[in-house]
């Protein structure tokens, strides 16, 4: 039976990546760009699983998850929270909301497929009813640090407090390390979306710095 994924994320890049990830799988993907749209969609459909960004307009991922857990017809639906690489993940908030798992963006397609598949095992393969439920967010996907930023920053030292503290040498060094770690699939799927975003942020910071000086 074809299963349905409800994806709620305000990033067109992530929605595109998830769409590509499940393009050849036996899933129907329904996309929305904010939490309120996700809740409206949930009132009209019964997805097999929900992927919800923890930071998005309207209702955030934690709130969408809490809505699902409090809905009689949806309460048992698996919910995976999508966490940005530099977002602060609230483990206690995820536990209270009843999240099934979380995964860090950007993620390897194989890691996401593996996580979703594991959460949608046929009932015959599911744990016995008396088995204790896993702690909220304890089923996090074993995904690779796609850009290698966590490792890079650990090796390079503390993350600078401000863009102004980053030197040209730092940028060149980190950029070289990141490029070496990028897979061709990631480059094809998201690079052309990410580069303009980064450029805009750098330009805005520079304009702000110039104005303040």
Residues 23 and 82 in one domain: yes
Give the domain range for residue 84: 3-125
Establish if 42 belongs to a structural domain: yes
Whether the CB-CB separation of 204 and 164 falls below 8 Å is answered with no
The reply to whether the predicted model has a pTM over 0.75 is: no
Q: Is residue 109 domain-shared with residue 190, that is, in the same domain? A: no
Peptide bond into 171 cis (omega under 30): no
Q: What is the pLDDT of residue 127?
A: 43
75 shares its domain with 116? yes
The residue among 113, 56, 115, 117 whose CA lies nearest residue 83 is 56
For residue 121, what pLDDT is reported?
Answer: 77
Predicted confidence at residue 106, as pLDDT, reads 85
Instruction: Examine the domain organization and report whether 43 and 113 are in the same domain.
Output: yes
* Domain termination site, one of 75, 91, 125: 125
Q: Annotate 7-21 with DSSP letters as a single string.
A: EE-S-HHHHHHHHHH
Question: Is 141 inside any structural domain?
Answer: no
Tens place of pLDDT per residue across the chain (213 aa): 679 999 999 999 999 999 999 988 889 999 999 999 999 999 999 999 999 999 998 899 999 999 999 999 999 999 999 999 888 999 999 999 999 999 999 889 999 999 999 999 764 344 444 444 444 444 444 444 444 555 555 555 555 554 456 666 666 666 666 555 544 444 444 444 555 555 555 655 656 666 665
136 located within any domain: no
Do 203 and 154 share a domain, yes or no? yes
Q: According to the model, what pLDDT value does residue 157 have? A: 56
Three-state secondary-structure class, residue 137: coil
134 within some domain:
no
CA-to-CA dists, residue 74 to 44, 46, 50, angstroms: 11, 7, 10
Tell me, what's the pLDDT at 66? 97
Residue 102 backbone dihedrals phi, psi, to 5 degrees? -145, 155
**Domains identified in the chain, total number:** 2
| Residue after which a domain boundary falls, among 125, 140, 165 | 125
CB distance 28 to 54 below 8 Å: no
- The CATH number of the domain holding residue 77 is 3.40.50.2300
In a domain, 35, yes or no: yes
Record the tokens describing residue 57, joined without a space: 């307009």
Residue closest to 77 by CA, chosen among 110, 20, 119: 119
Q: Is 73 helix (H, G, I), strand (E, B) or coil?
A: coil
Query: Residues 6 or more apart from 39 whose CB is under 8 A from it?
Result: 59, 64, 67
Write down the pLDDT at residue 179.
53
Per the domain annotation, does 140 fall within a domain? Answer: no
Q: Is 36 helix (H, G, I), strand (E, B) or coil?
A: helix
Determine the straight-line distance between the first and last CA of the chain, rounded to whole angstroms. Answer: 62
182 and 104 within one domain: no
| Domain finish residue from 76, 92, 125 | 125
For residue 26, what pLDDT is reported? 86
**Model pLDDT, residue 197:** 54
Q: What is the largest CA-CA distance in the chain?
A: 66
Domain identity same for 89 and 172:
no
Two tokens, residue 176: 């070289």
What is the per-residue pLDDT for 65?
A: 97
The predicted structure's pLDDT at residue 165: 60
């Amino acid at each position: 039976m074809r299963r349905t994924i409800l994806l709620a994320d305000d990033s067109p890049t992530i929605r595109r990546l998830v769409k590509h990830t499940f393009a050849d799988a036996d899933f129907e993907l329904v996309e929305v760009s904010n939490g309120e749209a996700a809740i409206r969609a949930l009132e009209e459909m019964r997805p097999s699983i929900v992927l919800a960004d923890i930071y998005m307009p309207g209702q955030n991922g934690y709130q969408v998850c809490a809505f699902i857990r409090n809905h009689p017809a949806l309460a048992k639906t698996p919910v995976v929270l999508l966490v940005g690489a530099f977002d602060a993940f609230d483990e206690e908030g995820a536990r209270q909301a009843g999240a099934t798992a979380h995964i860090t963006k950007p993620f390897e397609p194989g890691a996401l497929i593996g996580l979703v598949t594991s959460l949608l095992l046929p009932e015959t393969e599911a744990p016995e009813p008396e088995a204790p439920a896993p702690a909220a967010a304890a089923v996090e996907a074993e995904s690779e640090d796609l850009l290698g930023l966590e490792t890079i920053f650990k090796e390079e030292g503390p993350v600078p407090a401000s863009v102004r503290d980053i030197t040209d040498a730092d940028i060149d060094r980190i950029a070289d390390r990141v490029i070496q770690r990028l897979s061709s699939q990631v480059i094809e799927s998201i690079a052309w979306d990410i580069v303009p975003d980064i450029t805009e942020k750098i330009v805005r910071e520079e304009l702000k710095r110039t104005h303040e000086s």
